[in-house]
Amino acid sequence: MLGSLRKIVSQSPRGISASGIRIIASRTYASSAGAKEMTVRDALNSALDEEMSADPSVLLMGEEVGEYQGAYKISKGLLDKYGPKRVIDTPITEAGFTGMAVGAAYHGLRPIVEFMTFNFSMQAIDHIINSAAKSNYMSGGQISVPIVFRGPNGAASGVGAQHSQCYAAWYGSCPGLKVLAPYSSEDARGLLKAAIRDPDPVVFLENELLYGESFPVSAEVLDSSFCLPIGKAKIELEGKDVTITAFSKMVGYALKAAEILAKEGISAEVINLRSIRPLDRATINASVRKTNRLVTVEEGFPQHGVGAEICASIVEESFQYLDAPVERISGADVPMPYAANLERMAVPQVEDIVRAAKRTCYRSVPVAANA
């Protein structure tokens, strides 16, 4: 495996980072005109395929990414097309192959490391945090680490406490990393391309339950040059009464909640964060200054969560615009239960978002009054 990596390094072009950044900065959001349907799985697969075709320094490694074509079939067809030197099946040793990938990135390759679930990234967190995230700073900018760590994140269904954690806040707290969390097929395709082209390490948090979901994609999204900007949120739905921020699967829940609220005369603005680090504070604050209310939604634990960071940003920059306390919706502050009925209670539901939004609009009895 090491010999294969050395050979790829010797054949790889250098100095492509700057062009990647220019592409990222110049792209805008896709138009919905003439949209076709695409699953998130196919969006990720096509992004990998196109970036590997465009740049021979891009390679994929992880457990079952080759012969089995990925545990979730994200890498389907890539082994046949690019061969075992660029689509590398690894042993079950996250610490080993992640460290190898970081070393390859030091030498000019652009590895994509697939974790079968981000819970397994805990085995490799020293390489991600202490090597990948810090090397550029510690080398005075002499070492770039263009690497992507990707895989399913957050709660799935019936997989218990050790396979159901959301790592957005974990990795989002670390300087040197960029952290992305796609919701739609457009997000998955545009953000993964941006991550692969970026000169810095990117943690790319997918969601297993979204892989089979289909979303409309325009001709612009399907273009091989399509790329979304890192650090920019998307307003999925405009509104005037309350702002709801969410990422990954929770964006869909927020949009469903907005439909219910609209029937009761409450106009909700839904923001798809897309990027956890850097966080698009400007878009969030601008929205809250318009609606004067905020509900944050995430699957992760409440303490030190993404919602807590957003709340702090609003208090620091837009406190005087608030007409109601900020509402935080998150996973329960417990390890994920295995029992299906308890699991549902431990993760946010659409009705939780609806109740929180109504509380901010003083359209329901406050929680404290029911105690």
Active site residues: 94, 163
Query: Among positive and negative, which fits the CA dihedral 44, 49, 55, 59?
Result: positive
The amino acid present at 297, given as its one-letter code, is V
d(CA 298, CA 249): 9
What's the token pair of residue 193?
């391309």
Whole-angstrom distance, CA of residue 51 vs CA of residue 191: 12
**Could you write out the DSSP letters of every residue in 187-256?**
HHHHHHHHHHH-SS-EEEEE-GGGTT-EEEE-HHHHSTT--PPTT--EEEE--SSEEEEE-THHHHHHHH
Round to whole Å and give the CA distance between 322 and 285: 11
**In 3-state terms, what secondary structure has residue 197?**
helix
